[in-house]
Chain A
C-alpha cells in the first residue's frame, strides 16, 4: 500500500530523526504470538551449539575434549560477531555481483533494521538473530571432521572466511527472496530449514578440509575411542530439542506450518533412531548408545530440508532411509580409510543429500497443486526432482571448490594442521593450557 506523496513528505518532516520513514499504513503490526515463538526458536537453535559441543566432545579422546568443545564455542564467538558486522548483509541483502551474494550498506552492523517489522509480523531483529544461529552452527558442524588435529587460531580464521565466502552465498541463493535457488522451478528448490545450506555444505566442506590436512596421527591403526559417551548422549538430546526451533522456527510463523514442521521433525528423529538400533541389533546383536545418537542425527538431518512439505508417513520413510544409508556410508568410509573423525560427511553430508533428493517423493498433494498452478498447468514429481538435484549439485560443487581453496590458504598462512608434538600431547594441554577431567580417565 502506497501513501500519497504529500503525506509521505509531511511524515518525513515530522520524523526527521528516524532514518527510515515508518508510515503507519505500510508497517506491519508486530504479531506477538509469532514473535514469541520465533524468540523461543532462536534460543532453541542456540542451545544446539553447546549440544553439538557435548556431542563432539564426548566422541574424542580425553586429551582433546576441551579443544573439540572449543570449536563449537569458538564459532559462537567468531560468527556471533561476524554475522552482525557483515554476515546478515551478505546473506539477506539485495542481490549484487550477478546474484552471487547479497549486500546492503544499510544492513552493516544491522543498523538499518532498528525499526523494521517484517511482513511476517516479527521485528527483523528476531529474524536476523534466528538466522545468525544457523550461521554459527554450520561451521561448528564441520569441525567434527578435523577434530583432534587442528590449531585453534587456524580454525578461527578458517570459519570466518568460510562463513563469508561459502555460507553467505549459499544462504543468499536458497533463502533470500531474490536468490536464484529460491526461485528455481515452479515453486523454488525445497530447502525448508537448511538441508543444502547447513548440512550438505558442512558435509562437503568436511571432506574438502580433510583432503588437505590429512588424517590424525596413528589413524586408522590406533584405537581412538570416545572418552565419554554420556556427554555424547546428552548432546544428542539437546540437538533433538533444539531442532524443534531449527525446523519449526524456519516456518517464520506460529500456526499450521509450524505444527507440521514440528511433527515431522519428531517423527523423523525417532524413526532414524529406531532404524539405527535395529540395524545394529541385526548386525552386531547389540544396540549402542553411539548408534542411537547417530540415528537421531541422521533422521533430523534428512527431515531438515523436507519439514515444510512432507507428512508424517514421509517423515518415517526419510528417517529410516537416512539411517540405513548413513550406516552404509560410514562402513564405506572405514573401508576407504579417510579420517572424517566424527562422521560429518557420513551423517550430515549423506543424510542431507538423501533428504533433499528423496523428499520429492513424499511432498504433500496441496504443495504440488500449488506448484502446478504456478507453473501454469503441469508440474510433476520428476520436474521437482530435477530442481532438487540441481540445487544439491550446485551446493556440492561450489562448497567443495571454495573450501579447498580456503583450506590451502589458511594452511599456508596462519597454519591449520596442529604440530605433531601438540597433537601427541593433546590439544587441551598444548593449545588451551587446560585439562578436561582433572585426574580422571587416562587414554
Chain B
C-alpha cells in the first residue's frame, strides 16, 4: 500500500478529479493548503502587481494498493499541467503506507482501502 500526496494548482482540481475518476480512483481526500515552490505568483491587487509570500495550492491524499500507484500518477500527470507544463504545477509524493483500517467494520489491509 502507498500514500500519494499530490499538490496541484487550485484551478486544476476539477480536471484532476475527473481524470482520477475516469481511471477508477474515486476515494480521495482534498485539502486547501498554502506553500512555497519555485513559482513566483504575481497577482494584481488594486492595480499593483504583488508577489504573495505563500501561494494557495490544493492537496489530495490518496491511499491505494500498489497496482494503482502508476495509474493514479498517470492520471494526475495528464490533467494537472498548465499548457503542457509550467513552474508551479505541483508535485506528487509517494510514501509507504503501513496500515489501513476501515472504522465501520474494523477490517484492515488492502481490502480496507
Contact = CB atoms under 8 A, between A and B. Distances in A.
A426 B11 contact: yes
Contacts of B44: 433
A426 to B, nearest CB: 7
Contacts of A426: 11
Q: Output the residue of B13, B30, B34, B44 with the most chain A CB within 10 A.
A: B13
A425 interface: yes
Interface of A is mostly: loop
Contacts of B34: 439
B11 A430 contact: yes
B13 A442 contact: yes
Given A433-B43, A433-B44, A439 B56 contact: yes
B97 to A, nearest CB: 24
A440 interface: yes
A429 interface: yes
A433 B30 CA distance: 23
Contacts of A63: 11
Nearest to B11: A425
Interface string A401-443: 0000000000000000000000011100110010100111010
A442 B33 CA distance: 11
B15 A424 contact: yes
A334 to B, nearest CB: 23
Contacts of A440: 32
Interface residues of A, number: 12
B14 interface: yes
Interface of B is mostly: strand
B58 interface: yes
A430 B14 CA distance: 14
A337 to B, nearest CB: 21
Interface string A45-65: 000000000000000000100
Contacts of B11: 63, 424-426, 429-430
A442 B14 contact: no
Nearest to B43: A433
Contacts of A438: 56
A133 to B, nearest CB: 28
B58 A442 contact: yes
Given A433-B43, A433-B44, A442 B15 contact: no
Interface string B9-21: 0110111000000
A439 to B, nearest CB: 5
B43 A439 contact: no
B113 to A, nearest CB: 23
Contacts of A433: 43-44
Nearest to B57: A439
Q: Output the residue of A63, A425, A430 with the most chain B CB within 10 A.
A: A425
Contacts of B58: 442
Contacts of A425: 11, 14
A435 B44 CA distance: 12
A424 B43 CA distance: 20
A442 B43 contact: no
Nearest to B34: A439
16 contacts: A63-B11, A424-B11, A424-B14, A424-B15, A425-B11, A425-B14, A426-B11, A429-B10, A433-B43, A433-B44, A438-B56, A439-B32, A439-B34, A442-B13, A442-B30, A442-B58
Q: Which 3 A-B pairs have the closest CB atoms?
A: A425-B11, A439-B32, A424-B14
Given A424-B15, A425-B11, A442-B58, 13 more contacts: A63-B11, A426-B11, A429-B10, A429-B11, A433-B43, A433-B44, A435-B56, A438-B56, A439-B32, A439-B56, A440-B32, A442-B30, A442-B32
